[in-house]
Structure 1
Amino acid sequence: MSGMFDLLLTAYPWVKSLHVISVIAWMAGLFYLPRLFVYHVEKVESGSETDALFQTMERKLFRVIMQPAMMASWTFGLIMVFTPGAVDWGAIWPYTKGFAILSMTAFHDWLGRRVYQFSQGTNQLTGRRYRIMNEVPTVLLVIIIFSVIVRF
Structure 2
Amino acid sequence: MLWVKTLHILFVVSWFAGLFYLPRIFVNLAQTTDASTRETLLGMAQRLYRFMTPLGVLALILGLILWLGYGIGQGQIWMHAKLCGVLGLLAFHIACRHHLRVFSNGSSRHSHRYFRWFNEIPVLLLLLILIFVVVKPF
- TM-score if structure 1 supplies the norm length? 0.86
2:65 matched residue in structure 1 = 79
Q: 1:55 aligns with which of 27, 30, 42?
A: 42
The equivalences for 1:40-119 within 5 A come to 40-42=29-31, 44-45=32-33, 48-64=35-51, 66-89=52-75, 91-119=76-104
Structure 1 position 151, deviation (Å) = 1.4
RMSD: 1.1
- Identify which range, 107-116 or 78-87, moves more after superposition: 78-87
Letter of the 2:68 counterpart = F
| Unpaired segments ≥5 residues, structure 1 | 1-11
Structure 1 position 51, deviation (Å) = 1.1
Q: Once the two structures are aligned, what percentage of the paired residues are identical?
A: 34
User: What CA deviation, in whole Å up to 9, does each residue of 1:25-77 have, x standing for no partner?
Assistant: 110111111111111111x226x11111111000000012x101110111000
- Runs of 4 or more, structure 1, over 3 Å off, are none
1:23 matched residue in structure 2 = 12
8 Å Cα contact 2:67-2:74 kept in structure 1: no
Q: Distance in 2 between matches of 1:84 and 1:35?
A: 37
| Unpaired segments ≥5 residues, structure 2 | none
- Tell me, what secondary structure is at the counterpart of 2:69? coil
8 Å Cα contact 2:30-2:111 kept in structure 1: yes
Q: 2:105 aligns with which of 106, 109, 120?
A: 120
Q: Distance in 2 between matches of 1:118 and 1:29?
A: 17
Structure 1 position 121, deviation (Å) = 0.4
Structure 1 position 88, deviation (Å) = 3.9
- TM-score if structure 2 supplies the norm length? 0.95
